[in-house]
Amino acid sequence: MRIACNIITDIMPLYCENECSEETKALVEEHVASCSKCQRTLNTMEESLKVEEVRKADSDIQVIKKITQQIRKDRFSAFLWGALLLSVATVVVCIVAYNIIGVSVAPDGRLIEAFGLIPIAWLFTFISIGLGLFCLHVAC
Ligand SMILES: [Zn+2]
């Protein structure tokens, strides 16, 4: 049975994407083997599908790369904000602890003061300022 070229051309997309039955495949292959016009159409269709698949794969890779970059950036950003909060908390704890401990004079005349907390508070103040500026202008 000879099938008209336009019917074969209509089912060619299904054949190319392997979405037809074995009987349909056999019909297309049988027709294409004896019809050079449909053979050329099939070759063109298969080539354009390959190009389309390569393009789609490339765009999928680009999307995955962008998502990965965003995740890395978000993770780094979260780390910086966490470090900034910890640093500010350290400053607050040092100042509060210094004020709670207070300054007193021992009976032997020694000054009792939690003096070590002051430079720690200043150190973490500068670290907080640095992290804050970095977060605002560079990373976040
Ligand atoms: Zn034909």
Q: How far apart are the CA of 95 and the centre of ligand 1, in A?
A: 88
Residues with CB under 5 A from ligand 1 (ion): 5, 35, 38
- Kindly report the CA angle at 131 between 125 and 134, in degrees rounded to 5? 140
Q: How far apart are the CA of 4 and the centre of ligand 1, in A?
A: 7
This prediction has a pTM of 0.56
Q: Residue 89: how many CB atoms within 10 A of its CB? A: 12
- Looking at residue 18, the DSSP 8-state letter turns out to be T
Q: What percent of the chain has pLDDT over 70?
A: 98
Domain boundaries of the chain, sorted by first residue:
65-139
How high is the pLDDT of residue 111?
A: 87
Q: How far is CA 80 from CA 41, 55, 121, 130, in A?
A: 58, 37, 19, 11
How high is the pLDDT of residue 137?
A: 83
How high is the pLDDT of residue 3?
A: 86
How high is the pLDDT of residue 140?
A: 59
Q: How far apart are the CA of 25 and the centre of ligand 1, in A?
A: 14
Residue type, 86: L
pLDDT tens column, 119-139? 999 999 999 999 999 888 876
pLDDT band at 33 (very low <50, low <70, confident <90, very high): very high
Q: How far apart are the CA of 33 and the centre of ligand 1, in A?
A: 9
**Tokens 């060619």 appear where?**
12
Token representation of residue 53: 């698949």
Q: Which of 79-83, 107-111, 122-126 has the highest mean pLDDT?
A: 122-126
Look at residue 1 and tell me whether its pLDDT is greater than 70: no
CA torsion through residues 24, 27, 30, 31, sign:
negative
Tell me the mean pLDDT in the region 89-106: 92
d(CA 113, CA 124) in angstroms, rounded, equals 20
d(CA 124, CA 87) in angstroms, rounded, equals 6
Q: Residue 9: how many CB atoms within 10 A of its CB? A: 16
Q: How far apart are the CA of 13 and the centre of ligand 1, in A?
A: 14
Look at residue 39 and tell me whether its pLDDT is greater than 90: yes
Q: How far apart are the CA of 55 and the centre of ligand 1, in A?
A: 29
Q: How far is CA 15 from CA 23, 26, 40, in A?
A: 11, 10, 14
